[in-house]
Chain A
Amino acid sequence: MKDFAHKIVQEGPGTQSMFEDETLETVWDFIELGHAPAVADVVARVGDEARVRAVSLAGFITIAGDRISLTPAGERRARDVVRRHRLAERLFADILDIKDYEADACHFEHVISASVEEAICTLLGHPPLCPHGKPIPKGACCELYTRKLAPLVRSLADAEVGAMLRVTFITSPGLQRLAGLGLVPGAALRLQQKLPAFVVAIGETTVAIDRDVASGIFVRSV
């Protein structure tokens, strides 16, 4: 679980707001794994117990005994931070092709505005998972799913016939079966048809899949 390289904390105290973001993100992370974290767990990651308690005074978390949980306001904010972090990861990993993106993602999550966040999400095709396979909380744009801005990364189900595409990531079940046929992130493919079923050519291999599987394969044009 060294998911977040907490560079900001290492570099110095940063602003209180950044510290709150980090704390909330850490708590979210633990809750996602299934249990409310102990104060010590969170302090071990963000570094300063007094400041963690200050976050509680600001009304974002409650500390009951040893355990930390999120207040409704805290949960909303944690959600946004996590969403921005994971979107940033996707952006760096898929589009900018940066290998060591963790530290930058951590910077990024604090600075982007809501409209930038939405634009990135749309650009990436409203991705459901981060590169580590964790869910990206949905934003308003995902629910509306507007296609005004043609997204760079989109599901194969939305691609047009004849397009040359590159797979960025796959969320459909049957990942291993697809991998056996050469359908893996990074593979180049051509979409031959969408009806009555999807047919794609990957090199000299031709594979037929249904819409359900296709909508879990995310691609960008090449």
Chain B
Amino acid sequence: MCKLPQRCLLTGLVSLFVFSLVSASALPTAELIYQVGKKESSQASVIGKISDWLFGAKNNEDNFTMISGVAVDSADNIYLADTEKGRIVALNPQGKALARKDIGAGILKSPLGVALDRQGNIYVTDSALNQLLVFNSSGDVILAKSGADAKGGGLLRPSGVLVDKLSGRIIVSDTGNHRLQVYDQAGKFLSFIGQAGTREGDLNFPTFLAQDKNGNLYIVDTINCRVQVFDPNFKFIGKFGNSGDAMGSFGRPKGIAIDSDNRIYITDSFFNGVVVFDEAKKPVLFFSGSADNKTSLSAPMGVAVNSRGELIVADSRNNRLDVFRINW
């Protein structure tokens, strides 16, 4: 150890310098590629002009009010929960509305989570109806669940929803009850995961969910400011993150997506940004908008990653989707 204060300072400076050199070369960057929905009020940016040119002035399809969950299908079509408007909107991979009617309009009151299965069914949680609703691809309700049973097994403000890639089971974040509920494909209740608390495996307002390529389940444990990882048999196997403003810490973690290389993307609606973790769960990037600061996220919620590795962020309070490319 260094004994003289001056020496300490010098060593400190040198190591700081080396650290930043090493990490600078390894850090990925985020690049805004397009937006769907209301544009930033100051419209001077080139990106704004290009996206206006590409997508035209705002029309009904992209006139969203608070977007929560987002999901992509195998063809990279985007499904978003237009929460205030009470509908699910489907967009093509370029962000143009698909020629189909909105899903759930007139039924949904506060859609938050969206997930898709291989058959093209659409799974939606509604935090005002306290229900999980499943629509087929033509928009008919094929399943409506209010929870396990009437005796304390009901859903309270459900948010995240996931269709297990391996088993087809439906996993719902029962946010207000601090647990998850698991159903089989037919909607039969199978089990709860977690209970209120702060220990490993406990949950404190769990919100969005994701699965990595090995089938492990990632739960954003929002008020515990961490992400918990469960194996495909729903056994706790790890956690990361804590409450704070350092790289890798969270204020209000919400949405989560995992790409094909098992890199993890988590939105933070308190710090208005996205935290990126590499496959070793090391935090490598935080961004809160475009590099030129022309766009900044406002209370981002859901996030999805498409087959090109692009990140689709529900920029909730800005009423739009922001699509980013991560340059690794």
Asked if A and B are interacting partners, one says: no
